């Protein structure tokens, strides 16, 4: 497994991608590049030539979700970590899935309902 810091990625889900790109680009001086990831458009933000975050349109079926930032914690094994969440009384909100060229990820909630994403990178 390629080493990443424990919180390795931040991602904004929003219903106004262009507005968010303008706001955060100007606020933080980020360079934003549009990419096609899976089935949707995705913008990657770079700071000092380092990828730091992604900005994406609210996914289909989640239109009522308010715009929000999410963090990804790097784990050794996403599936084992998702099972541990259940053992500890949490909930798996998005079951583990592969993202080609990136790795495997899932979204979970703790017993109080706070959400976080976990990822194992393919490199």
pLDDT over 90 (residue 12): yes
Per-domain residue ranges of the chain: 1-69, 75-123
Of the two residues 40 and 15, the one the predictor is more confident about is 15
Pair 13, 58: CB distance under 8 Å: yes
Among candidates 22, 47, 107, 41, which has minimal Cα distance to 73?
Answer: 107
Quick one: which H or E segment has residue 106?
strand 103-109
How is domain 1-69 classified at the CATH fold level? 2,3-Dihydroxybiphenyl 1,2-Dioxygenase; domain 1 (3.10.180)
Q: Check for a shared fold between 1-69 and 75-123.
A: yes
- What's domain 75-123's superfamily in CATH? 2,3-Dihydroxybiphenyl 1,2-Dioxygenase, domain 1 (3.10.180.10)
- Quote the CA–CA distance of 120 and 3 in Å, as a whole number: 10
Average of per-residue pLDDT values in the chain: 89
- Quote the CA–CA distance of 91 and 87 in Å, as a whole number: 9
Q: Which pTM does this prediction carry?
A: 0.75
């Amino acid at each position: 497994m390629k080493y990443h810091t424990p919180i390795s990625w931040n991602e904004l889900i929003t219903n106004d991608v262009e507005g968010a790109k303008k706001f955060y680009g100007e606020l933080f001086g980020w360079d934003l590049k549009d990419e096609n990831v899976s089935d949707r458009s995705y913008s990657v933000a770079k700071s000092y030539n380092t990828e730091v975050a992604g900005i994406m349109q609210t996914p289909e079926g989640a239109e009522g979700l308010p715009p929000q930032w999410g963090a990804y914690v790097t784990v050794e094994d996403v599936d084992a970590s998702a099972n541990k969440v259940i053992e500890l009384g949490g909930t798996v909100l998005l079951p583990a899935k592969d993202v080609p060229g990136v790795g495997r990820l899932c979204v979970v909630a703790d017993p109080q309902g706070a959400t976080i994403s976990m990822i194992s990178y393919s490199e």
